[in-house]
Amino acid sequence: MAMWVIAIAFVQNPQNGIATAIIGGNEQILYANLYFFSWLTFLASVYTVGVTFRDNFNFGPKFSQWMLLFTASIVLLSTSISIRGDICANETEDMACERTKYAVGVGGVGVAISVIAVFASVLDKMGRMFEIGTTLLATILYFFGVVFLTSASGPASAMGNMYFSVWGGCFVSFVLLLGTLFPGGNDGEERSRGEATGVVGNSYGDEDNI
């Protein structure tokens, strides 16, 4: 994952013109195979690391999902900052400029929320009300991000890093919100994890089933 973080920083930066570039004030994909498969491999590595740490160190059950939200938020934040100058330099793109600033805000708040949630999951200090508040805030911000950024007059009307990151953040935050409001599905996940490690019950010291 560390190697892919470095690779993505170079490959997916539109200023480098490798997988994407700024053309006419909009981010556009130059090489589809390089673009999609590098992102898929990077996201798969992030999810695998999240699941591995969650299962081996008994982190919170949503640790990997918060890692994905952090990834979507950092991509949205970095892409918005990278292309904001080109968009705002065009005097006819005032609305797109303001919406790009909103994208920067959504990405920044998403990074802050997900970082706090990741550490709370690691320390097992995620309270229910705090989890509801953070997931609800992230869902609302990303929902309006999709509305404002991917519309015809938005900076993410064409497929690119901003387009997929705002949609990805909206999807992950909505899944997190549903899992927080209706937590019944986590019981089955915890039970399956317990069976896989040979531990069944409410505590790890009750009984070993091998």
pLDDT at 106: 92
**Which carries the bigger pLDDT value, residue 5 or residue 144?**
144
pLDDT at 139: 93
pLDDT at 78: 85
Is the pLDDT at 115 greater than 70? The verdict is yes
Average pLDDT over residues 198-206: 44
Q: How far is CA 32 from the centre of its chain?
A: 21
Q: What CA–CA distance (Å, rounded) separates 101 from 154?
A: 11
Q: What CA–CA distance (Å, rounded) separates 12 from 140?
A: 27
| Pick from 78, 81, 98, 79: nearest CA to 90 | 98
Spell out the domain ranges in the chain. Answer: 44-186
Average pLDDT over residues 18-30: 78
* Residues 69, 109 contacting (CB under 8 angstroms): no
What's the token pair of residue 102?
């909103």
Task: Report the DSSP beta bridge partners of residue 21.
Answer: 28
pLDDT single digits (tens) 61-111: 788 888 889 988 988 898 888 888 777 776 566 788 888 889 999 999 999
